[in-house]
Chain A
Amino acid sequence: MSKQLQFKLVLLGESAVGKSSLVLRFVKDQFDDYRESTIGAAFLTQTVALDDGTTVKFEIWDTAGQERYKSLAPMYYRNANCAVVVYDITQSASLEKARNWIRELQRQADPSIVIALCGNKSDLAARRQVTQEEAQKYAEEEGLMWAETSAKSGEGVSDIFTAIAKKLPTTAPPASRAGPGRAGTSAGRTGVDLNRQGAGASTEPCNC
């Protein structure tokens, strides 16, 4: 029987590295040349089907990259199962910011969080400031997944999300992770409520 798993994913990274574009490409396979800067946090979902029949539903929080909103980021990466930290391969400073985010996640996020480092704008390789070797070496040192993507051409985008989906634990469905706070996206349906009651009753250990 096929399994459906649900994971919370957060996107972090400096302003204008293409976080929202990456999500738009992943969720809708679209690209906008002129996207306004995100002032807040956008919420989207996308499902990935794996080869073994498992489907993984990502609940994605795309956060604002601007420095002044930095203090709110922990609210969005708490309880996250995975984080995609994005930098722009044409801006070496953006990799520095990505390193800061990764340090923060390693210090403060859930210890089991899966972190992927993602070098975006690979279509602009001519203006590259960050070499693949440099980024890859750093990722290996820190035990991160790494890939380069182009939200504009779509190159590598679905690959990295699929890779993350494969790396996430399949044994312990993180449904409880989402908790009641995520009821709005799925459990809000009447039918699900009943199911949940039933499921709760059956897993409750008998204390007699």
Chain B
Amino acid sequence: MADQNDVRLLLRPSEFVRVVLEGTAARAEPDLQVETPKGNPEQYSWSGREYSAVLAIVGHLDNATGEAGAAFIYQVETSPLSSQPLLALQRVLPIQGDFSIGVSQVNPPVFMSGETDVSSVTSQPTDPGFSLELSDGSSEPITLVTHDKEHLSSVLLACRRLRDLASQVSTETVTYPWLAPYALHPSSWFSVTPPRDLRHSAAFLHERLSPACAGEPGDDVADFNTIRDEWLYTKARSTVEKDAEQKSLRIRVGTFNANGKLPTQDLATWIGATRGEQEVWEQLIPPLKEISPLSLGEVGNKDLDSGATTPQPVLSPIKVSDSSTEELAHDPDLFVLAFQELDLSTEALLYSTKTTREDAWTAATLAALGEKGEHYEKLISKQLVGMLLIVIVRKELRKCFLGARTAAVGAGLMGIMGNKGAVAVRLTYRPAATPTAPSPTPTTLTFVNSHLAALDEMLERRNGDFRDISRRLEFGPCAEYMWGESSDETGIAPPMATIYASDVLVEVSGHMFVGLLIEAKDADLNYRVNLPDPDVRYFLSHNFAGHGVHTLLKFDQLKGSMRNAKAFVGFSEHPITHLPTYRFNTGLLTDSLGYDNKRKPAWTDRILHMSSPFTPARQLSYTSHPEISFSDHRPISADFVVETPTVDSMALESTANELYKAILGVDPEDLPSPPLLKLDETALDFGKVLYERPAMRTLHLKNIGKVPAAFRFYPREIDSPIHPDWLEISPLTGFLLPGEAMPLTFRVLVTRTSAARLNLHQVKLSVLLILHTALGQDLFISASGKYESTCFGNSLATLTRLPGPIRELKGEEDLIPEAQSRNSSREAMKLVNWLMSNDVATVDDLFFARGDEELVAQIRECLDTGTDFPAPPKPPPHHTIDPSYARAVATTLVDFLDSLPEPVIPVALHVRCAGIASRDAAYEMLSLFPPASVNLWIAVTAFLHLLVLQNVMTEVPLDKKEELDQATVTPVVSEKSSLPEAEKLAAIFAPLLLRDDIEAPAPVSLLEKRRFLLYFMEG
């Protein structure tokens, strides 16, 4: 347990430890029932009142006044990583005039010890103990129970001596200024050290405030406090970290569903550390025979046996057998490896945390590090049935990892069995001390390995499991939370540390979170792709340099759940460029890529992260490792760099408390005068507002009152939005000290969604915004602009009824009657005609690369005003038209089609179109199209037909092999040759003309939609 040295580390040079005594202390609040946490099979019992404690008698030497002393009481949290415990200061009692210490014998022990799950803090003693009551005469006394008779007498002696010393000095001089940095007083101390809930970042602050609207301000007192605390935290951290030295922590996160197999292949590429000699591994494992031909396809027919299977250039460079320290600098500091389905045997399905098979995998992992392995060691691991999370650390950094806690929850059978669920590790990382930061603020990293419900149709279950797991994964009460946010209303029970109470959060094997807390979730998330099976396989084998993967990912269930805030809210995922990691088979029942014929391929293995703005986690890579092929899943990996500022915790605390002092005594319930904010302007005029053209305005808000003021924007009605969708406000909440001012930024942007509504109905944009001062007045801000309507975002039916350019339309009543409407949209035809009448076939990347945005905007403006397109520049040699100009026209057409509220072929007809199996039947479908769509459809497909014909004339013959998808290899340089022109164009236009509904539970096959389009294009 804690000794003098542990305490010594927390003191300043002028102070010294006289004696240290271990025991159990109770929080001062009496008679409070604290509930034990709800049933978690793994949960240890604890009570909120008692904690393992250390009493340290600390002396301070001052040349002028001599020695003075104080009693420091720390809460002790043990760490499974080292003998070094975490100490959190609870009370400081100066040993002077009114100080008293009383001792009595207790029998039997009165306190339950606050044990943690990973170690035995104190064994329940049977011998009688002693109860010490310490008091400084003014505040609540503190009681400590101890069995340490030996040090008890030293404590009593030291206290008596220091008290005698204090009494010799005149009371006026004994102010104990040296204690100021430690001066904890519950009501005047604000701590910024503990990691906060990652979901509570400032960006979402307004969502945490009470429901309120104009004239109904909600709970202003609570809101005032919430906004103030956020201000305090952000301000203190940014003040102190401004000049802080940044320390990068490199983390390699991997996840692998082993399908019950033992490691029979070199894991080196997955582990990704620089590898030692290849032979070392080869001696251990015979060359592999059972690699399927399919996995060969995945890696582009590279020779697997040569070991030249480095998957991605982003990975750490591999240098053989030269482990100089310089090279090591680029290696990860931390490996976080998550496994699922380590053991599929029946007994493993029960709730077991035995370390089955862990040894085999740990050994394989360390072996994969090769010679570098000697620089690493296992830090901690946690297993629950088939889920295992191993953390391996660089030896020299081990001492920086002060604390580690683990947690596990089952979410399988009956909601608790361990075949599904999650295991998690929470690490406390403290960078090495520097002269300016003798006691650096720790960063909390959390890694979660979760394994969610399988099967396509279980999406709701997976989302539910995730929410359940996030809630139930708790690491027990945390010492560092003592002054932090409290989890219950009484404010007394220490909050449980959840996975979100991190700086970085990574969720793996399905999900990985990185936060200011690094929380990694590695998980086999089992999320699937919502498209028919043939579609999935087609797009995988015709990836077109990532286009196929990109298309499929739009239908990915996990992305959808994140988009709709059903699960993993707040997490980010690096863009996926690798092929699905499930399900592979080795038998004959596989497709050309090695995927099992019976299971739709899917990205079931994912890494997601979340990080605090103060310790941003940057992801450098995200890739799969198809060459490791003995499981039905493929492992994936991600490299992260977490920037952790080396900030002295004492400096941070004192900065926060300097700020706190400025607002101390400001009781929002009893303000001496009302808060008063003033705006420099109350009206914003955005002038002309054009489609997709953002404009900004800034106002200045100043606190002209005598008290600090918290403000928030609020809506007119409880359920209405704070601002219209064409306007953004930043920030939506804030806090200002008297005399302080801040800018408020207003950004107007009309997108296709708002344009559809504004075009015909609203020429004048106008809104009244309400800025509410907590406990004070509301300020009104009027924002207005003149909206210049656009042909984008209108239905084709409306466009065919325009008497002239849309900009000249006075109102809806000026539309020509439906019976006399034009046979197609003038604007769309203008674009198609231009493309038809110019030689655009020679233009590279037409429709694939976006045109110059400024030119695109100019062309759009011409469509809206009915003027001629700007004159194209002189074409370069061998061209009849300037390619960039042609690309801009093409982009405008694509944007136009994409902006239609209803696609050219209405959604209701998509199933029928997809079912068409002949060219004739396809042409018969035209009679079902809406009148406004028919001619546009014919014009666009005719143009595409022409384009294909022109391209075929110049087409280079294709090497058949290149048709295979090569997404896992380097990006294809020339897209043009990888696929027939018609198919490529269909890939662009089918999703526009028959727009995909990515939210549909069972979307219409993209392939069949393309086939329908191709009947017209190939003619």
Binding site for B on A (CB under 8 A): 10, 39-44, 61, 64, 68-69, 71-72, 75-79, 179-185, 187-189, 193
Partner pick for A72 among B218, B775, B780, CB 8 A cutoff:
B780
Residue-wise, chain B 196-224 has the 8 Å CB interface mask toward A (1 for contact) of 00000000000000111111111111110
B217 touches A184 (CB 8 A): yes
A68 touches B782 (CB 8 A): yes
Q: How far is the CA of A10 from the CA of B778 in the complex (A)?
A: 14
Partner pick for A64 among B212, B775, B780, CB 8 A cutoff:
B780
Within 8 A of A (CB), among B714-738: 716-717
Tell me the nearest residue of chain B to A10, going by C-beta: B215
Q: Could you write out 25 A-B pairs with CB less than 8 Å apart?
A: A39-B779, A40-B777, A40-B779, A41-B214, A41-B778, A41-B780, A42-B777, A44-B674, A68-B782, A69-B768, A69-B780, A69-B782, A72-B214, A72-B770, A76-B215, A181-B212, A181-B213, A181-B218, A184-B217, A184-B219, A184-B220, A184-B221, A184-B223, A184-B775, A187-B219
A185 touches B768 (CB 8 A): no
Q: Which residues of B contact A42 (CB under 8 A)?
A: 776-778
Q: How far is the CA of A100 from the CA of B216 in the complex (A)?
A: 24
A78 touches B682 (CB 8 A): no
- Select the residue from B214, B218, B776 with max chain A CB neighbours within 10 A: B214
Please provide the 7 A-B residue pairs with the shortest distance between their CB atoms, ordered closest to farther: A184-B220, A181-B216, A75-B214, A188-B221, A42-B777, A76-B215, A40-B779
Q: How far is the CA of A78 from the CA of B780 in the complex (A)?
A: 18
Q: Which residues of B contact A185 (CB under 8 A)?
A: 220, 775
Q: How far is the CA of A10 from the CA of B775 in the complex (A)?
A: 17
Q: How far is the CA of A39 from the CA of B669 in the complex (A)?
A: 25
Tell me the nearest residue of chain B to A78, going by C-beta: B215
Q: How far is the CA of A64 from the CA of B212 in the complex (A)?
A: 20
Q: Which residues of B contact A40 (CB under 8 A)?
A: 770-771, 777-780
A188 touches B669 (CB 8 A): yes
Tell me the nearest residue of chain B to A71, going by C-beta: B768
Q: How far is the CA of A69 from the CA of B770 in the complex (A)?
A: 11
B222 touches A188 (CB 8 A): yes
Least Cβ–Cβ distance between B684 and chain A, in angstroms:
13
Q: How far is the CA of A180 from the CA of B223 in the complex (A)?
A: 14
Q: How far is the CA of A76 from the CA of B779 in the complex (A)?
A: 13
Tell me the nearest residue of chain B to A178, going by C-beta: B216
Q: How far is the CA of A41 from the CA of B777 in the complex (A)?
A: 6
Q: Which residues of B contact A39 (CB under 8 A)?
A: 679, 682, 779-780
Binding site for A on B (CB under 8 A): 210-223, 489, 669, 674, 679, 682, 716-717, 768, 770-771, 774-780, 782
Told that A184-B221, A189-B221 touch, could you supply 6 new A-B pairs with CB distance under 8 A? A40-B777, A43-B217, A43-B776, A79-B216, A181-B216, A184-B219
- Select the residue from B212, B777, B778 with max chain A CB neighbours within 10 A: B778
> How many contacts between A and B, using CB within 8 angstroms?
86
Q: How far is the CA of A39 from the CA of B217 in the complex (A)?
A: 17
Tell me the nearest residue of chain B to A189, going by C-beta: B669
Partner pick for A75 among B213, B776, B777, CB 8 A cutoff:
B213
Q: Which residues of B contact A183 (CB under 8 A)?
A: 210, 218-219, 222
Q: How far is the CA of A41 from the CA of B775 in the complex (A)?
A: 12
Least Cβ–Cβ distance between A61 and chain B, in angstroms:
6
Given A76-B215, A181-B212, A183-B219, A43 and B777 touching (CB < 8 A)? yes
Q: Which residues of A contact B217 (CB under 8 A)?
A: 43, 181-182, 184
Q: How far is the CA of A188 from the CA of B775 in the complex (A)?
A: 11
Q: Which residues of A contact B220 (CB under 8 A)?
A: 184-185, 188
Q: Which residues of B contact A71 (CB under 8 A)?
A: 768
Least Cβ–Cβ distance between B723 and chain A, in angstroms:
14
Least Cβ–Cβ distance between B719 and chain A, in angstroms:
13
Q: Which residues of B contact A68 (CB under 8 A)?
A: 768, 782
Tell me the nearest residue of chain A to B214, going by C-beta: A75
- Select the residue from B217, B674, B771 with max chain A CB neighbours within 10 A: B217
Q: How far is the CA of A39 from the CA of B222 in the complex (A)?
A: 25
Tell me the nearest residue of chain A to B668, going by C-beta: A188
B215 touches A61 (CB 8 A): yes
Tell me the nearest residue of chain B to A186, going by C-beta: B669
A188 touches B219 (CB 8 A): yes
Least Cβ–Cβ distance between B981 and chain A, in angstroms:
56
Q: How far is the CA of A182 from the CA of B669 in the complex (A)?
A: 13
Tell me the nearest residue of chain B to A72, going by C-beta: B768
Tell me the nearest residue of chain A to B674, going by C-beta: A44
- Select the residue from B210, B211, B775, B780 with max chain A CB neighbours within 10 A: B780
Tell me the nearest residue of chain A to B780, going by C-beta: A40
Q: Which residues of B contact A76 (CB under 8 A)?
A: 214-215
Q: Which residues of B contact A75 (CB under 8 A)?
A: 213-215, 716-717
Q: How far is the CA of A25 from the CA of B933 in the complex (A)?
A: 68
Least Cβ–Cβ distance between B721 and chain A, in angstroms:
14
Q: How far is the CA of A111 from the CA of B775 in the complex (A)?
A: 28
Tell me the nearest residue of chain B to A8, going by C-beta: B215
Least Cβ–Cβ distance between B673 and chain A, in angstroms:
11
Q: Which residues of A contact B669 (CB under 8 A)?
A: 188-189
Tell me the nearest residue of chain B to A41, going by C-beta: B778
Least Cβ–Cβ distance between B934 and chain A, in angstroms:
45
